Homo-oligomer: A and B are copies of this chain.
Amino acid sequence: MASPSMDEVRITHDALDVNDAFVRATLPSTGATSIFVGTTRDNFDGKIVLKLEYEAYEPMAVKQLNILCSEVREKWPEVSKIIIEHRLGEVKVTEASVIIAISAPHRKDSLEAVDFCIDRLKEKVPIWKKEKYADGGEAWKENKECCWKGDKNKE
């Protein structure tokens, strides 16, 4: 049965490992593990992006990720494990900045929960990213959806 100990939330400067998240999420009692991986893309609005750099207000980010796990469990009580990992610091093109892995006995719950989780993470969790361009420039990017929007650019 689902319980808070089935939630694993982590913010780290280490590289993220998709297989590790899959293995930790998948239990003998589950038949479906859905995974979303956000990776650094090499372009934004026609500019060549070399890498992204992430910063978080860590205590609040971890708190919000735990709230997010509770929301998932309320909406999808059949969900088994929830793993949410976000990387901070530099993340090169094709590398993972965020992994969400959610398992359940049946696929519908795990698919819907992952979909909800990444939308909600973008909206609620105070993590910012700086794009570093091939031309030497850089720019802070907020999540368009984020309720924390604007804080970073006011600095």
- B-contacting residues of A (Cβ < 8 Å)? 17-19, 22, 26-43, 93-94, 105, 107, 110-111, 114-115, 118
What 8 new A-B contacts, CB under 8 Å, besides A27-B94, A29-B43? A18-B18, A18-B22, A28-B41, A28-B42, A29-B42, A34-B36, A111-B115, A115-B115
What residue of chain B has the Cβ atom nearest to residue A35's Cβ?
B35
B30 touches A39 (CB 8 A): yes
Work out how many copies of this chain go into the complex.
Answer: 2
From known contacts A19-B19, A111-B114, infer whether A37 and B35 are also in contact, taking CB-CB under 8 Å: yes
B32 touches A39 (CB 8 A): yes
Q: Kindly identify which residue among B18, B19, B37, B93 contacts A28, using a CB–CB cutoff of 8 Å.
A: B93
Distance to closest chain B CB from A96 (angstroms): 8
Q: Kindly identify which residue among B26, B27, B29, B43 contacts A37, using a CB–CB cutoff of 8 Å.
A: B26
A40 touches B34 (CB 8 A): no
CA distance A36 to B113 in the complex (A): 12
B93 touches A36 (CB 8 A): no
Distance to closest chain B CB from A139 (angstroms): 16
CB-CB < 8 A to A94: which residues of B?
26-28
What residue of chain B has the Cβ atom nearest to residue A41's Cβ?
B31
Q: Kindly identify which residue among B27, B29, B32, B38 contacts A32, using a CB–CB cutoff of 8 Å.
A: B38
Distance to closest chain B CB from A140 (angstroms): 17
Distance to closest chain B CB from A28 (angstroms): 4
